[in-house]
Protein backbone atom coordinates (compact mmCIF):
# COMPACT_ATOMS: atom_id res chain seq x y z
CA UNK A 1 0.00 0.00 0.00
CA UNK A 2 1.30 3.48 -0.86
CA UNK A 3 2.21 5.52 2.17
CA UNK A 4 0.31 8.80 2.79
CA UNK A 5 1.37 11.38 0.18
CA UNK A 6 2.94 13.89 2.53
CA UNK A 7 6.51 15.09 3.18
CA UNK A 8 8.19 13.55 6.17
CA UNK A 9 10.21 15.52 8.66
CA UNK A 10 14.00 15.44 8.64
CA UNK A 11 13.83 13.09 11.63
CA UNK A 12 11.66 10.63 9.69
CA UNK A 13 14.09 10.70 6.77
CA UNK A 14 17.06 10.17 9.03
CA UNK A 15 15.26 7.33 10.78
CA UNK A 16 14.65 5.56 7.48
CA UNK A 17 18.35 5.60 6.68
CA UNK A 18 19.35 4.53 10.18
CA UNK A 19 16.89 1.63 10.20
CA UNK A 20 18.38 0.31 6.99
CA UNK A 21 21.89 0.67 8.35
CA UNK A 22 20.96 -0.95 11.68
CA UNK A 23 19.26 -3.86 9.96
CA UNK A 24 22.39 -4.44 7.94
CA UNK A 25 24.55 -4.04 11.02
CA UNK A 26 22.76 -6.90 12.77
CA UNK A 27 23.80 -9.39 10.11
CA UNK A 28 26.81 -11.63 10.76
CA UNK A 29 30.14 -9.95 10.18
CA UNK A 30 31.73 -10.72 6.86
CA UNK A 31 35.31 -11.86 6.45
CA UNK A 32 37.37 -9.60 4.16
CA UNK A 33 37.05 -10.86 0.61
CA UNK A 34 40.01 -11.28 -1.76
CA UNK A 35 40.61 -8.28 -4.04
CA UNK A 36 39.58 -10.25 -7.13
CA UNK A 37 36.31 -11.24 -5.49
CA UNK A 38 35.64 -7.63 -4.44
CA UNK A 39 36.26 -6.45 -8.02
CA UNK A 40 33.89 -9.09 -9.38
CA UNK A 41 31.24 -8.17 -6.84
CA UNK A 42 31.52 -4.43 -7.55
CA UNK A 43 31.43 -5.14 -11.27
CA UNK A 44 28.20 -7.09 -10.91
CA UNK A 45 26.67 -4.34 -8.79
CA UNK A 46 27.75 -1.60 -11.20
CA UNK A 47 26.08 -3.55 -14.01
CA UNK A 48 22.92 -3.99 -11.93
CA UNK A 49 22.87 -0.27 -11.02
CA UNK A 50 23.26 0.77 -14.67
CA UNK A 51 20.54 -1.70 -15.70
CA UNK A 52 18.19 -0.19 -13.09
CA UNK A 53 18.86 3.33 -14.39
CA UNK A 54 18.35 2.29 -18.02
CA UNK A 55 15.06 0.52 -17.23
CA UNK A 56 13.88 3.46 -15.12
CA UNK A 57 14.46 6.04 -17.87
CA UNK A 58 13.08 3.75 -20.59
CA UNK A 59 9.97 3.04 -18.53
CA UNK A 60 10.62 -0.68 -18.95
CA UNK A 61 8.48 -1.93 -16.06
CA UNK A 62 9.19 -5.61 -16.74
CA UNK A 63 12.97 -5.15 -16.66
CA UNK A 64 12.76 -2.87 -13.63
CA UNK A 65 10.50 -5.32 -11.79
CA UNK A 66 13.11 -8.04 -12.15
CA UNK A 67 15.73 -5.78 -10.54
CA UNK A 68 13.64 -4.44 -7.64
CA UNK A 69 13.29 -6.59 -4.54
CA UNK A 70 9.78 -7.56 -3.54
CA UNK A 71 10.60 -5.98 -0.17
CA UNK A 72 11.46 -2.61 -1.75
CA UNK A 73 11.24 0.44 0.53
CA UNK A 74 11.76 3.54 -1.67
CA UNK A 75 11.77 6.93 0.08
CA UNK A 76 11.70 9.87 -2.34
CA UNK A 77 13.49 13.16 -1.64
CA UNK A 78 10.05 14.61 -0.79
CA UNK A 79 9.75 12.11 2.06
CA UNK A 80 7.05 10.05 0.33
CA UNK A 81 7.67 6.29 0.64
CA UNK A 82 6.75 3.65 -1.98
CA UNK A 83 6.54 -0.11 -1.98
CA UNK A 84 7.55 -1.99 -5.11
CA UNK A 85 3.92 -2.28 -6.15
CA UNK A 86 3.25 1.45 -5.71
CA UNK A 87 6.50 2.50 -7.40
CA UNK A 88 5.82 0.43 -10.53
CA UNK A 89 2.14 1.45 -10.60
CA UNK A 90 3.12 5.12 -10.84
CA UNK A 91 5.32 4.35 -13.84
CA UNK A 92 2.65 2.31 -15.60
CA UNK A 93 -0.03 4.98 -15.11
CA UNK A 94 2.28 7.75 -16.29
CA UNK A 95 1.86 9.57 -12.97
CA UNK A 96 5.65 9.58 -12.72
CA UNK A 97 8.05 9.52 -15.65
CA UNK A 98 11.82 9.52 -15.32
CA UNK A 99 13.20 11.49 -18.29
CA UNK A 100 16.87 11.56 -17.34
CA UNK A 101 19.13 10.05 -14.72
CA UNK A 102 22.76 11.19 -14.72
CA UNK A 103 24.82 9.42 -12.05
CA UNK A 104 27.64 11.32 -10.40
CA UNK A 105 30.10 9.91 -7.90
CA UNK A 106 29.20 6.45 -6.61
CA UNK A 107 30.81 4.18 -4.01
CA UNK A 108 30.13 0.75 -2.52
CA UNK A 109 30.44 -0.74 0.95
CA UNK A 110 29.82 -4.34 2.02
CA UNK A 111 28.88 -4.47 5.70
CA UNK A 112 27.69 -8.08 5.66
CA UNK A 113 27.42 -11.09 3.41
CA UNK A 114 24.88 -10.56 0.65
CA UNK A 115 24.38 -6.87 1.45
CA UNK A 116 25.79 -3.87 -0.45
CA UNK A 117 25.38 -0.17 0.35
CA UNK A 118 25.54 2.22 -2.60
CA UNK A 119 26.06 5.92 -1.84
CA UNK A 120 26.48 8.77 -4.26
CA UNK A 121 24.99 11.72 -6.08
CA UNK A 122 22.83 11.96 -9.17
CA UNK A 123 20.93 14.44 -11.28
CA UNK A 124 17.42 13.24 -12.08
CA UNK A 125 14.81 14.82 -14.31
CA UNK A 126 11.30 13.62 -13.60
CA UNK A 127 7.85 14.59 -14.85
CA UNK A 128 4.99 14.20 -12.38
CA UNK A 129 1.64 15.80 -11.62
CA UNK A 130 3.27 19.19 -10.97
CA UNK A 131 5.24 19.21 -14.23
CA UNK A 132 8.92 18.68 -15.14
CA UNK A 133 11.48 18.91 -12.38
CA UNK A 134 15.26 18.49 -12.33
CA UNK A 135 16.89 17.77 -8.97
CA UNK A 136 20.38 17.10 -7.76
CA UNK A 137 20.33 14.32 -5.15
CA UNK A 138 22.53 12.73 -2.56
CA UNK A 139 21.41 9.17 -1.85
CA UNK A 140 21.94 5.91 0.03
CA UNK A 141 20.71 2.67 -1.54
CA UNK A 142 20.75 -0.91 -0.28
CA UNK A 143 21.16 -3.98 -2.51
CA UNK A 144 20.56 -7.55 -1.34
CA UNK A 145 21.68 -10.76 -2.97
CA UNK A 146 18.60 -12.93 -3.59
CA UNK A 147 18.95 -16.36 -5.22
CA UNK A 148 22.30 -15.41 -6.76
CA UNK A 149 21.08 -12.05 -8.12
CA UNK A 150 21.59 -8.56 -6.73
CA UNK A 151 18.19 -6.94 -6.10
CA UNK A 152 17.45 -3.31 -5.28
CA UNK A 153 16.11 -3.28 -1.70
CA UNK A 154 15.96 0.31 -0.39
CA UNK A 155 16.51 3.93 -1.42
CA UNK A 156 16.72 7.16 0.58
CA UNK A 157 17.60 10.50 -1.05
CA UNK A 158 17.81 14.18 -0.18
CA UNK A 159 17.92 17.16 -2.50
CA UNK A 160 21.15 19.09 -2.65
CA UNK A 161 20.65 22.86 -2.41
CA UNK A 162 21.28 24.95 -5.50
CA UNK A 163 23.58 27.92 -5.19
CA UNK A 164 21.66 31.11 -4.52
CA UNK A 165 22.19 34.26 -6.57
CA UNK A 166 25.17 36.20 -5.18
CA UNK A 167 24.34 39.51 -3.53
CA UNK A 168 24.61 42.46 -5.88
CA UNK A 169 24.44 40.35 -9.03
CA UNK A 170 21.88 40.64 -11.83
CA UNK A 171 20.55 37.47 -13.43
CA UNK A 172 21.47 36.92 -17.09
CA UNK A 173 19.23 33.84 -17.26
CA UNK A 174 15.64 34.10 -16.06
CA UNK A 175 15.23 30.34 -15.57
CA UNK A 176 12.42 30.14 -18.13
CA UNK A 177 13.66 30.99 -21.63
CA UNK A 178 16.61 32.50 -23.52
CA UNK A 179 15.44 36.09 -23.36
CA UNK A 180 18.51 38.35 -23.25
CA UNK A 181 20.59 35.95 -25.33
CA UNK A 182 21.41 35.68 -29.01
CA UNK A 183 23.32 33.31 -31.23
CA UNK A 184 26.86 34.14 -32.35
CA UNK A 185 29.74 31.91 -33.48
CA UNK A 186 33.47 32.29 -32.92
CA UNK A 187 33.76 35.63 -34.72
CA UNK A 188 36.16 38.57 -34.59
CA UNK A 189 34.39 41.44 -32.75
CA UNK A 190 36.10 43.97 -35.02
CA UNK A 191 34.82 42.14 -38.11
CA UNK A 192 31.30 42.08 -36.67
CA UNK A 193 31.44 45.80 -35.90
CA UNK A 194 32.53 46.50 -39.49
CA UNK A 195 29.49 44.78 -41.02
CA UNK A 196 26.92 46.93 -42.78
CA UNK A 197 23.61 47.08 -40.85
CA UNK A 198 21.76 44.96 -43.45
CA UNK A 199 24.44 42.29 -43.51
CA UNK A 200 24.72 42.28 -39.74
CA UNK A 201 20.95 41.90 -39.38
CA UNK A 202 20.87 39.00 -41.84
CA UNK A 203 23.72 37.22 -40.06
CA UNK A 204 22.09 37.71 -36.68
CA UNK A 205 18.84 36.21 -37.93
CA UNK A 206 20.77 33.21 -39.22
CA UNK A 207 22.64 32.83 -35.95
CA UNK A 208 19.46 33.11 -33.87
CA UNK A 209 17.78 30.41 -35.96
CA UNK A 210 20.79 28.17 -35.39
CA UNK A 211 20.70 28.88 -31.65
CA UNK A 212 17.07 27.78 -31.50
CA UNK A 213 18.09 24.41 -32.96
CA UNK A 214 20.82 23.66 -30.44
CA UNK A 215 20.03 25.53 -27.21
CA UNK A 216 16.96 25.14 -24.99
CA UNK A 217 15.75 25.51 -21.41
CA UNK A 218 14.87 22.51 -19.27
CA UNK A 219 13.88 22.81 -15.64
CA UNK A 220 15.67 26.11 -14.95
CA UNK A 221 18.77 24.91 -16.81
CA UNK A 222 20.19 25.96 -20.16
CA UNK A 223 20.93 22.88 -22.22
CA UNK A 224 23.24 22.68 -25.24
CA UNK A 225 23.55 19.67 -27.53
CA UNK A 226 27.15 20.71 -28.19
CA UNK A 227 26.64 21.95 -31.73
CA UNK A 228 25.91 25.17 -33.55
CA UNK A 229 26.54 28.78 -32.57
CA UNK A 230 27.55 29.94 -29.11
CA UNK A 231 25.04 31.28 -26.62
CA UNK A 232 25.80 35.02 -26.46
CA UNK A 233 24.56 37.90 -24.31
CA UNK A 234 22.58 40.40 -26.34
CA UNK A 235 24.52 43.30 -24.84
CA UNK A 236 28.20 44.03 -24.32
CA UNK A 237 30.06 44.22 -21.02
CA UNK A 238 33.30 45.89 -19.98
CA UNK A 239 34.57 45.24 -16.45
CA UNK A 240 32.52 42.71 -14.50
CA UNK A 241 32.22 39.72 -12.22
CA UNK A 242 30.42 36.75 -13.77
CA UNK A 243 28.85 33.92 -11.79
CA UNK A 244 27.97 30.77 -13.73
CA UNK A 245 27.28 27.17 -12.79
CA UNK A 246 27.98 24.52 -15.41
CA UNK A 247 27.93 20.76 -15.74
CA UNK A 248 29.35 18.38 -18.34
CA UNK A 249 26.95 15.42 -18.52
CA UNK A 250 29.25 13.26 -20.65
CA UNK A 251 32.87 12.19 -20.48
CA UNK A 252 35.34 14.02 -22.75
CA UNK A 253 33.05 17.04 -23.12
CA UNK A 254 34.66 20.40 -23.92
CA UNK A 255 33.41 23.98 -23.73
CA UNK A 256 34.46 27.44 -22.63
CA UNK A 257 33.41 30.98 -21.78
CA UNK A 258 34.34 33.86 -24.09
CA UNK A 259 34.96 37.24 -22.44
CA UNK A 260 34.20 40.34 -24.51
CA UNK A 261 33.84 37.99 -27.47
CA UNK A 262 37.39 36.73 -26.96
CA UNK A 263 38.38 33.12 -26.14
CA UNK A 264 38.39 31.83 -23.46
CA UNK A 265 38.06 30.45 -19.96
CA UNK A 266 38.47 26.74 -20.65
CA UNK A 267 35.96 24.10 -19.58
CA UNK A 268 36.71 20.41 -20.20
CA UNK A 269 36.80 16.94 -18.70
CA UNK A 270 40.14 16.58 -16.88
CA UNK A 271 39.83 12.78 -16.86
CA UNK A 272 39.48 12.36 -20.63
CA UNK A 273 42.57 10.48 -21.81
CA UNK A 274 41.94 11.64 -25.38
CA UNK A 275 42.82 15.20 -24.38
CA UNK A 276 45.79 14.48 -22.12
CA UNK A 277 48.01 15.58 -24.99
CA UNK A 278 46.43 19.03 -24.71
CA UNK A 279 46.84 19.30 -20.93
CA UNK A 280 43.24 18.80 -19.83
CA UNK A 281 44.41 16.84 -16.77
CA UNK A 282 45.45 20.19 -15.29
CA UNK A 283 41.79 21.13 -14.98
CA UNK A 284 39.33 23.76 -16.15
CA UNK A 285 39.44 27.51 -15.71
CA UNK A 286 42.66 28.37 -17.55
CA UNK A 287 42.94 31.02 -20.26
CA UNK A 288 43.42 28.38 -22.92
CA UNK A 289 44.14 30.69 -25.86
CA UNK A 290 46.89 32.61 -24.10
CA UNK A 291 50.43 32.06 -25.45
CA UNK A 292 52.17 28.88 -24.30
CA UNK A 293 53.18 28.94 -20.63
CA UNK A 294 52.09 32.55 -20.15
CA UNK A 295 50.40 33.47 -16.84
CA UNK A 296 46.87 32.12 -16.73
CA UNK A 297 47.33 29.68 -19.59
CA UNK A 298 47.09 26.78 -17.15
CA UNK A 299 45.03 26.71 -13.94
CA UNK A 300 46.98 27.00 -10.71
CA UNK A 301 45.34 23.81 -9.51
CA UNK A 302 42.76 21.26 -10.59
CA UNK A 303 39.43 22.14 -8.99
CA UNK A 304 36.88 20.37 -11.23
CA UNK A 305 34.16 18.19 -9.78
CA UNK A 306 33.49 14.79 -11.38
CA UNK A 307 31.65 14.54 -14.69
CA UNK A 308 27.92 14.83 -14.10
CA UNK A 309 28.27 17.18 -11.13
CA UNK A 310 27.78 20.94 -11.07
CA UNK A 311 30.71 23.33 -10.95
CA UNK A 312 30.57 26.96 -9.84
CA UNK A 313 32.79 29.50 -11.60
CA UNK A 314 33.33 33.13 -10.64
CA UNK A 315 35.16 35.23 -13.25
CA UNK A 316 36.41 38.75 -12.60
CA UNK A 317 37.52 40.82 -15.58
CA UNK A 318 38.93 44.31 -15.21
CA UNK A 319 40.80 45.94 -18.05
CA UNK A 320 42.60 43.00 -19.61
CA UNK A 321 43.14 41.13 -16.34
CA UNK A 322 41.12 38.04 -15.45
CA UNK A 323 40.72 36.11 -12.20
CA UNK A 324 38.93 32.75 -12.22
CA UNK A 325 37.62 31.03 -9.09
CA UNK A 326 36.44 27.47 -9.70
CA UNK A 327 34.58 25.74 -6.88
CA UNK A 328 36.01 28.24 -4.36
CA UNK A 329 39.60 27.70 -5.54
CA UNK A 330 41.57 30.43 -7.32
CA UNK A 331 42.75 28.85 -10.56
CA UNK A 332 43.72 32.03 -12.44
CA UNK A 333 44.97 34.98 -10.42
CA UNK A 334 44.74 38.36 -12.15
CA UNK A 335 46.35 37.21 -15.41
CA UNK A 336 46.15 39.18 -18.64
CA UNK A 337 43.85 37.69 -21.29
CA UNK A 338 45.53 37.74 -24.69
CA UNK A 339 43.71 39.14 -27.74
CA UNK A 340 43.07 36.08 -29.91
CA UNK A 341 41.91 37.98 -32.97
CA UNK A 342 44.65 40.67 -32.95
CA UNK A 343 47.76 39.27 -31.30
CA UNK A 344 49.63 41.82 -29.23
CA UNK A 345 46.82 44.38 -29.43
CA UNK A 346 44.62 45.53 -26.52
CA UNK A 347 41.33 43.76 -25.97
CA UNK A 348 38.12 45.57 -26.85
CA UNK A 349 36.90 47.71 -23.94
CA UNK A 350 33.51 45.99 -24.20
CA UNK A 351 32.11 42.87 -25.77
CA UNK A 352 29.64 40.02 -25.30
CA UNK A 353 29.90 37.02 -22.99
CA UNK A 354 29.61 33.72 -24.84
CA UNK A 355 29.14 30.10 -23.82
CA UNK A 356 30.91 27.88 -26.31
CA UNK A 357 29.77 24.73 -28.09
CA UNK A 358 32.44 22.17 -28.87
CA UNK A 359 30.80 18.95 -29.95
CA UNK A 360 29.45 17.63 -26.65
CA UNK A 361 26.46 18.51 -24.47
CA UNK A 362 26.69 20.83 -21.50
CA UNK A 363 24.30 22.41 -19.02
CA UNK A 364 24.34 25.87 -17.45
CA UNK A 365 22.32 27.49 -14.68
CA UNK A 366 22.38 30.46 -12.30
CA UNK A 367 24.13 32.84 -14.69
CA UNK A 368 24.52 36.29 -13.16
CA UNK A 369 26.72 39.36 -13.55
CA UNK A 370 27.87 42.34 -11.53
CA UNK A 371 29.36 45.24 -13.43
CA UNK A 372 32.31 46.79 -11.63
CA UNK A 373 31.87 50.34 -10.37
CA UNK A 374 33.91 53.50 -10.09
CA UNK A 375 34.78 52.52 -6.52
CA UNK A 376 36.53 49.47 -8.01
CA UNK A 377 38.42 51.43 -10.65
CA UNK A 378 36.14 50.78 -13.60
CA UNK A 379 34.44 53.09 -16.05
CA UNK A 380 35.42 55.64 -18.72
CA UNK A 381 38.91 57.02 -18.28
CA UNK A 382 40.19 54.37 -15.90
CA UNK A 383 43.41 52.55 -16.84
CA UNK A 384 46.07 50.32 -15.32
CA UNK A 385 48.86 52.02 -13.41
CA UNK A 386 52.00 50.10 -14.41
CA UNK A 387 55.56 49.73 -13.21
CA UNK A 388 56.79 51.70 -16.22
CA UNK A 389 55.23 54.81 -14.69
CA UNK A 390 57.21 54.56 -11.42
CA UNK A 391 60.85 55.16 -10.58
CA UNK A 392 62.99 54.30 -7.59
CA UNK A 393 63.71 57.10 -5.14
CA UNK A 394 65.81 55.63 -2.31
CA UNK A 395 65.44 51.85 -2.36
CA UNK A 396 67.68 49.00 -3.50
CA UNK A 397 67.30 47.58 -7.02
CA UNK A 398 65.42 44.57 -5.63
CA UNK A 399 63.24 46.42 -3.12
CA UNK A 400 60.39 46.66 -5.63
CA UNK A 401 59.63 43.91 -8.15
CA UNK A 402 56.87 44.32 -10.74
CA UNK A 403 55.22 41.23 -12.18
CA UNK A 404 51.91 40.54 -13.94
CA UNK A 405 50.49 43.97 -13.18
CA UNK A 406 51.36 43.92 -9.46
CA UNK A 407 54.36 44.83 -7.35
CA UNK A 408 56.12 43.09 -4.45
CA UNK A 409 58.06 45.14 -1.92
CA UNK A 410 60.61 43.58 0.44
CA UNK A 411 60.17 46.43 2.93
CA UNK A 412 63.91 47.10 3.04
CA UNK A 413 65.25 49.69 3.13
CA UNK A 414 62.59 52.12 4.27
CA UNK A 415 61.81 54.45 1.38
CA UNK A 416 59.50 55.05 -1.59
CA UNK A 417 59.04 54.75 -5.30
CA UNK A 418 57.29 57.62 -7.09
CA UNK A 419 55.47 58.28 -10.33
CA UNK A 420 57.63 59.81 -13.05
CA UNK A 421 55.06 62.54 -13.57
CA UNK A 422 53.33 64.64 -10.92
CA UNK A 423 49.58 64.23 -10.39
CA UNK A 424 46.84 66.60 -9.31
CA UNK A 425 43.20 65.51 -9.41
CA UNK A 426 42.79 61.76 -9.55
CA UNK A 427 41.00 58.62 -8.47
CA UNK A 428 43.00 55.55 -7.56
CA UNK A 429 41.98 51.94 -6.98
CA UNK A 430 44.46 49.50 -5.48
CA UNK A 431 44.52 46.20 -3.61
CA UNK A 432 47.17 45.53 -0.99
CA UNK A 433 48.15 42.92 1.55
CA UNK A 434 50.84 42.54 4.16
CA UNK A 435 52.75 39.27 4.10
CA UNK A 436 53.68 39.36 7.79
CA UNK A 437 51.80 40.31 10.92
CA UNK A 438 52.28 43.95 11.91
CA UNK A 439 53.34 45.22 8.48
CA UNK A 440 53.52 48.93 7.72
CA UNK A 441 53.23 50.78 4.41
CA UNK A 442 51.32 53.60 2.78
CA UNK A 443 50.27 55.51 -0.32
CA UNK A 444 51.63 59.06 -0.51
CA UNK A 445 49.64 61.71 -2.40
CA UNK A 446 50.95 65.03 -3.66
CA UNK A 447 54.52 64.60 -2.40
CA UNK A 448 56.48 67.74 -3.47
CA UNK A 449 59.53 67.27 -5.67
CA UNK A 450 61.65 69.06 -3.08
CA UNK A 451 61.07 66.42 -0.37
CA UNK A 452 62.03 63.59 -2.73
CA UNK A 453 65.34 65.06 -3.89
CA UNK A 454 68.42 63.49 -2.31
CA UNK A 455 66.26 61.35 -0.02
CA UNK A 456 68.57 58.84 1.64
CA UNK A 457 67.79 55.13 2.09
CA UNK A 458 65.95 54.55 5.36
CA UNK A 459 64.01 57.82 5.17
CA UNK A 460 60.46 58.68 4.12
CA UNK A 461 59.44 61.88 2.35
CA UNK A 462 58.90 64.76 4.86
CA UNK A 463 55.92 66.03 2.91
CA UNK A 464 52.68 64.89 1.24
CA UNK A 465 49.40 63.34 2.34
CA UNK A 466 49.69 59.75 3.51
CA UNK A 467 46.96 57.14 3.22
CA UNK A 468 48.06 54.61 5.84
CA UNK A 469 48.43 50.90 4.98
CA UNK A 470 48.81 49.05 8.30
CA UNK A 471 48.23 45.47 9.39
CA UNK A 472 46.18 44.97 12.54
CA UNK A 473 49.15 43.40 14.28
CA UNK A 474 51.06 46.69 14.13
CA UNK A 475 49.24 48.16 17.15
CA UNK A 476 50.11 45.18 19.33
CA UNK A 477 53.74 45.26 18.21
CA UNK A 478 53.97 49.03 18.78
CA UNK A 479 52.74 48.75 22.37
CA UNK A 480 55.01 45.78 23.06
CA UNK A 481 58.14 47.44 21.69
CA UNK A 482 57.58 50.99 22.99
CA UNK A 483 55.54 50.48 26.12
CA UNK A 484 53.22 53.25 24.90
CA UNK A 485 49.53 53.18 24.02
CA UNK A 486 48.57 52.97 20.36
CA UNK A 487 45.65 55.36 20.73
CA UNK A 488 47.12 57.96 18.37
CA UNK A 489 46.67 55.78 15.25
CA UNK A 490 44.47 53.00 13.91
CA UNK A 491 45.03 50.11 11.50
CA UNK A 492 41.88 50.73 9.44
CA UNK A 493 42.83 53.53 7.07
CA UNK A 494 44.09 56.75 8.67
CA UNK A 495 44.68 59.76 6.41
CA UNK A 496 47.07 62.49 7.56
CA UNK A 497 49.56 65.16 6.42
CA UNK A 498 53.28 64.42 6.66
CA UNK A 499 56.01 66.83 7.75
CA UNK A 500 55.62 70.27 6.17
CA UNK A 501 52.23 69.45 4.59
CA UNK A 502 48.87 70.36 6.07
CA UNK A 503 45.28 69.05 6.02
CA UNK A 504 42.03 69.64 7.86
CA UNK A 505 41.00 66.08 8.83
CA UNK A 506 37.49 64.70 8.65
CA UNK A 507 36.18 63.47 12.02
CA UNK A 508 36.76 61.47 14.02
CA UNK A 509 40.13 63.12 14.60
CA UNK A 510 43.17 61.63 16.36
CA UNK A 511 44.31 63.14 19.68
CA UNK A 512 47.03 65.12 17.88
CA UNK A 513 44.43 66.91 15.77
CA UNK A 514 46.01 66.14 12.38
CA UNK A 515 45.06 62.57 11.60
CA UNK A 516 41.64 61.50 10.28
CA UNK A 517 40.55 58.29 11.96
CA UNK A 518 38.24 55.88 10.09
CA UNK A 519 34.57 55.93 11.03
CA UNK A 520 34.49 52.11 11.16
CA UNK A 521 36.78 49.10 10.94
CA UNK A 522 36.68 47.36 7.55
CA UNK A 523 40.26 46.31 6.81
CA UNK A 524 41.41 42.67 6.90
CA UNK A 525 44.52 41.30 8.54
CA UNK A 526 47.53 39.65 6.91
CA UNK A 527 47.67 37.82 4.55
CA UNK A 528 44.23 38.78 3.19
CA UNK A 529 43.83 41.32 0.40
CA UNK A 530 42.31 44.74 1.02
CA UNK A 531 40.95 47.27 -1.45
CA UNK A 532 41.42 51.05 -1.30
CA UNK A 533 39.57 53.55 -3.43
CA UNK A 534 41.13 56.99 -3.07
CA UNK A 535 39.60 60.18 -4.46
CA UNK A 536 41.90 63.22 -4.41
CA UNK A 537 40.32 66.32 -5.97
CA UNK A 538 41.02 70.03 -5.45
CA UNK A 539 42.85 69.51 -2.18
CA UNK A 540 40.33 67.06 -0.72
CA UNK A 541 41.13 63.39 -0.06
CA UNK A 542 38.55 60.67 0.63
CA UNK A 543 39.30 57.00 1.35
CA UNK A 544 37.06 53.94 0.93
CA UNK A 545 38.24 50.68 2.54
CA UNK A 546 36.78 47.49 1.09
CA UNK A 547 33.82 49.43 -0.29
CA UNK A 548 33.16 51.69 2.72
CA UNK A 549 34.06 55.38 2.94
CA UNK A 550 35.94 55.81 6.22
CA UNK A 551 38.30 58.80 6.35
CA UNK A 552 39.85 61.79 4.61
CA UNK A 553 40.46 65.50 4.81
CA UNK A 554 40.20 68.83 3.04
CA UNK A 555 42.29 71.97 2.53
CA UNK A 556 45.34 69.82 1.74
CA UNK A 557 48.57 71.71 1.14
CA UNK A 558 50.08 70.93 -1.29
CA UNK A 559 47.32 69.65 -3.58
CA UNK A 560 49.63 68.59 -6.40
CA UNK A 561 52.77 66.47 -6.50
CA UNK A 562 53.99 62.93 -6.93
CA UNK A 563 52.22 59.68 -6.11
CA UNK A 564 54.39 57.34 -4.02
CA UNK A 565 54.25 53.80 -2.66
CA UNK A 566 55.99 53.23 0.65
CA UNK A 567 58.46 50.59 1.84
CA UNK A 568 58.60 50.50 5.62
CA UNK A 569 60.30 47.46 7.06
CA UNK A 570 58.02 44.54 6.12
CA UNK A 571 57.05 42.78 2.89
CA UNK A 572 53.90 44.10 1.23
CA UNK A 573 52.21 43.58 -2.12
CA UNK A 574 50.07 45.85 -4.28
CA UNK A 575 48.02 44.72 -7.26
CA UNK A 576 45.26 45.90 -9.59
CA UNK A 577 46.57 49.44 -9.47
CA UNK A 578 44.18 51.62 -11.47
CA UNK A 579 44.07 55.38 -11.97
CA UNK A 580 41.79 57.95 -13.53
CA UNK A 581 43.05 61.51 -14.00
CA UNK A 582 40.43 64.22 -13.55
CA UNK A 583 40.38 67.86 -14.65
Residues in the chain: 583
Cα distance between residue 88 and residue 254, in whole Å: 38
Last residue of a domain, one of 136, 159, 182: 159
CA angle, corner 143, sides to 139 and 149, nearest 5? 150
- Indicate the pLDDT class of residue 134, thresholds 50, 70 and 90: confident
CATH number at residue 327: 2.60.120.560
Q: Is 298 helix (H, G, I), strand (E, B) or coil?
A: coil
Average pLDDT over residues 277-289: 97
* pLDDT attached to residue 34: 60
Question: Is the pLDDT at 19 greater than 50, yes or no?
Answer: no
Decide: 125 and 133 in contact? Cβ < 8 Å: yes
The model's pLDDT over 304-342, given as tens digits with 9 standing for 90+, comes to: 999 988 999 999 999 999 999 999 999 999 999 999 999
Average pLDDT over residues 391-409: 96
Q: Is 582 helix (H, G, I), strand (E, B) or coil?
A: coil
- Indicate the pLDDT class of residue 33, thresholds 50, 70 and 90: low
Average pLDDT over residues 7-31: 42
Percent of the chain with pLDDT strictly greater than 70: 93
Q: What is the mean pLDDT of the chain?
A: 92
The secondary element (H helix, E strand) that includes residue 399 is: none
The parent domain of residue 436 ranges over 383-581
305 shares its domain with 263:
yes
414 shares its domain with 544:
yes
Nearest to 241 by CA among 344, 301, 170: 170
CATH number at residue 75: 3.10.450.50
- 66 CB-near residues (< 8 Å, 6+ apart): none
307 shares its domain with 228:
yes
141 shares its domain with 198:
no
Cα torsion 179, 183, 186, 188: sign: negative
Last residue of a domain, one of 104, 138, 159: 159
Question: Is the pLDDT at 144 greater than 70, yes or no?
Answer: yes
133 shares its domain with 220:
no
Question: Is the pLDDT at 299 greater than 90, yes or no?
Answer: yes
Range from 11-20, 148-157, 264-273, 419-428 carrying the lowest mean pLDDT: 11-20
Residue with the bigger pLDDT between 412 and 26: it is: 412
The structural domain count of the chain equals 3
Residue 164 lies in a domain: no
Question: Is the pLDDT at 528 greater than 60, yes or no?
Answer: yes
Residue 569 lies in a domain: yes
The model's pLDDT over 104-117, given as tens digits with 9 standing for 90+, comes to: 778 999 999 999 99
321 shares its domain with 213:
yes
Residue 478 lies in a domain: yes
Last residue of a domain, one of 99, 128, 159: 159
36 shares its domain with 155:
yes
Decide: 285 and 299 in contact? Cβ < 8 Å: yes
Cα distance between residue 316 and residue 141, in whole Å: 41
- Indicate the pLDDT class of residue 166, thresholds 50, 70 and 90: confident
- 476 CB-near residues (< 8 Å, 6+ apart): 438, 486
Average pLDDT over residues 464-477: 97
Cα torsion 476, 479, 482, 488: sign: positive
The model's pLDDT over 56-79, given as tens digits with 9 standing for 90+, comes to: 999 999 999 999 999 999 999 888
* pLDDT attached to residue 4: 31
409 shares its domain with 343:
no
525 shares its domain with 399:
yes
Question: Is the pLDDT at 8 greater than 70, yes or no?
Answer: no
Cα distance between residue 175 and residue 217, in whole Å: 8
Residue 275 lies in a domain: yes
Residue 165 lies in a domain: no
Amino acid sequence: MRCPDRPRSAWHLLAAVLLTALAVGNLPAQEPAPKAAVADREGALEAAAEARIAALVAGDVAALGAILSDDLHYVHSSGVADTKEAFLANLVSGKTKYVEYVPGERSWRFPAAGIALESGKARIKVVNETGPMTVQLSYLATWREENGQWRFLAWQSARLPQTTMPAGFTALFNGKDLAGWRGRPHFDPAAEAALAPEEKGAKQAEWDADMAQHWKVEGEEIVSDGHGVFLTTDRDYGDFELHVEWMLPESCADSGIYLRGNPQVQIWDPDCERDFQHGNQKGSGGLWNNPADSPGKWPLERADRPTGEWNTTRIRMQGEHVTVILNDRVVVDDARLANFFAAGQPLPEKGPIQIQTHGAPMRVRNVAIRELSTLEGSGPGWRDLTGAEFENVNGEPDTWTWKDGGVHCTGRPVGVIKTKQPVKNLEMSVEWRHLTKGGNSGVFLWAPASVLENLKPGALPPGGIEVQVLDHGYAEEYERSTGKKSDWFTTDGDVFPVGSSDMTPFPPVAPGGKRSFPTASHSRGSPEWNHYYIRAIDGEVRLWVNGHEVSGGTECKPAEGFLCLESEGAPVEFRRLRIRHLP
